[in-house]
Amino acid sequence: MRPPNCYDSEIFFRFCHLETLMSSLDRRRFMNTSATAGAALGATLAVSSARAYKANDRVVLGVMGLSRGVSLCRGFATKKNVEIKYVCDVDSDRAAACAATVAKISGKAPEAIGDFRRILNDKSVDALVCAAPNHWHAPATIMACNAGKHVYVEKPCSHNPHEGEVMVQAARTHKRAVQMGTQRRSGATFIEGIKRLHGGVIGRVYSSRAFYASLRGTTGKCVKASVPKTLNYDLWQGPAPRTPYMSNRVHYKWHWFWHWGNGELGNNGIHALDICRWGLNVDYPIHVTSAGGRFAFKDDQQTPDTHTVCFEFKDRKAITWIGHSCNRHVDGSGFVTFYGENGTMDFDGAGGYTIYDRRRSKQLETKKGSRGDAEHIIDFLTAIRTDKPQQLNSEINEGHKSTLLCHLGNIAQRTRRSLTCSSKDGHIIGDKDAMKLWKRDYENGWEPKVS
């Protein structure tokens, strides 16, 4: 077969008619023989598919990953002049159910598909919404940028630090709007509160603490099992090296295994750490320490359920994240607290904030707020329509910096060592073993690259 560096008719036919082929070919054999060609095709689609927009022009979307993606479909479907043309999931039951949900909202059913590359192949599609598992976030985003699509990608933006760097490169090379789903960046009271912090409302801000608590149960034991008939497990794995299908991982508990997920730090910690970094006005840490483990239960979970990570930055600033996945008790606001020379500011998860004096004996001001979910979607659509891809509230460069804190905390935890990092790019200094976790291995043909 000729290299798929253009719209090769044979390859194009295969992927535009993937569902038909799947019914007549063994799924595993098909994916093993076509994954390399498909990845290369998605990575080399011409950016000429991008088009000029008017202020209120219709934006056409394809949504990938229909757990969190269902909520995003609801959010996008209610916005003016937005069409969800495709809903995609490797589980056919989930794809069909989401298509019905969108039809009830918009009056028009999107096409339910199993392979997101059909979204990339369609020139009429403007943007990919990626809410698939973490190991898919960066590869799908990079392939979409290569194909001329804008991307709304859920948090954390990457599975490992290297991927985040390549995502920024892809967005810049193809001049695409890439928004990470840390919605609080678009919340009006968050924006107001951070502006006041930067303006000195509690004096020089030198420290921030983030908190997360939940009541998760045991992961249990994972055993080999038959792949459900509705699930394309090969494509679910995608860029990740192949492993046998095991019970108790798909569709959610993959979060707690390093092969696909980033633990609670990447799952929920990213939201609070992003606010901490924004409020302190810092980029990359110079020192990272971690303590914790799987303390609440004895099971197959690999990632910590009890975790504390400390980040030190230049100019005498620090962030601490405290995570308890199996106990709901929280301290203070239970989300983010900023410490300044003249007082403190607490943010709750919904967007409200309270300002205290330095003794915390007096509330100086309290304001309620909202998270900013709808505003975050509008921010993304506005960047597309105005052709200002970098004017996003959670633009991919900022998303990468915040996600990198999660990766560094996890690397410190996995290596059981403190990390010294470069303030220029966050790279780990003087620890080759730790830097081995900067990047992962990929299934043959799936390593994400900018083209």
138-152 per-position pLDDT tens digit: 999 999 999 999 999
pLDDT of residue 1: 36
- Mean pLDDT on 90-108: 97
pLDDT band per the 50, 70, 90 thresholds, residue 12 = very low
Count of C-beta atoms within a 10 Å radius of residue 391? 12
**pLDDT over 70 for what percent of the chain?**
88
Which amino acid appears at position 33 of this protein?
T
As a whole number of angstroms, the distance between CA 391 and CA 171 comes to 12
Tokens (6 digits) for 30? 């098909």
Q: Is 3 contained in some domain?
A: no
- In this structure, the answer to whether residues 193 and 177 fall within a common structural domain is no
More confident residue, 21 or 286: 286
193 and 131 in a common domain: no
361 pLDDT tier (thresholds 50, 70, 90): confident
Q: Per residue in 315-328, pLDDT tens?
A: 999 999 999 999 99
pLDDT confidence band for 333 (50 / 70 / 90):
confident
Q: What is the CATH number of the domain that holds 95?
A: 3.40.50.720
Q: Structural domain of residue 290, as residue ranges?
A: 188-219+250-371+396-438
Last residue of one domain, picked from the residues 184, 199, 231? 184
Q: Is the separation of the CB atoms in 310 and 286 below 8 Å?
A: no
- Same domain as 275, residue 135: no
**233 inside domain:** no
If asked whether residues 160 and 271 sit together in one domain, one would say: no
Q: Is residue 77 part of a domain?
A: yes
Q: Mean pLDDT across the stretch 105-125?
A: 97
Q: Which two tokens stand for residue 295?
A: 């303390």
**Among 165, 184, 203, residue at a domain's last position:** 184
Q: How many domains does the chain have?
A: 2
End-to-end Cα distance, the chain: 20
Residue 53: the pLDDT is 62
- Among 4-18, 47-61, 373-387, top mean pLDDT goes to 373-387
Closest residue by Cα to residue 256 from 299, 209, 317: 299
383 within a domain of the structure (yes/no): no
* 105/204 same-domain check: no
227 domain residue, yes or no: no
* Whether the predicted model's global pTM rises above the 0.85 cut: yes
Q: Is residue 386 part of a domain?
A: no
Do 123 and 206 have their domain in common? no
Is the pLDDT higher at 250 or at 330?
250
User: What average pLDDT is seen over the chain?
Assistant: 90
Asked whether residue 155 is domain-assigned, the answer is yes
Cβ–Cβ < 8 Å for 102, 84: yes
Q: Are residues 208 and 263 in the same domain?
A: yes
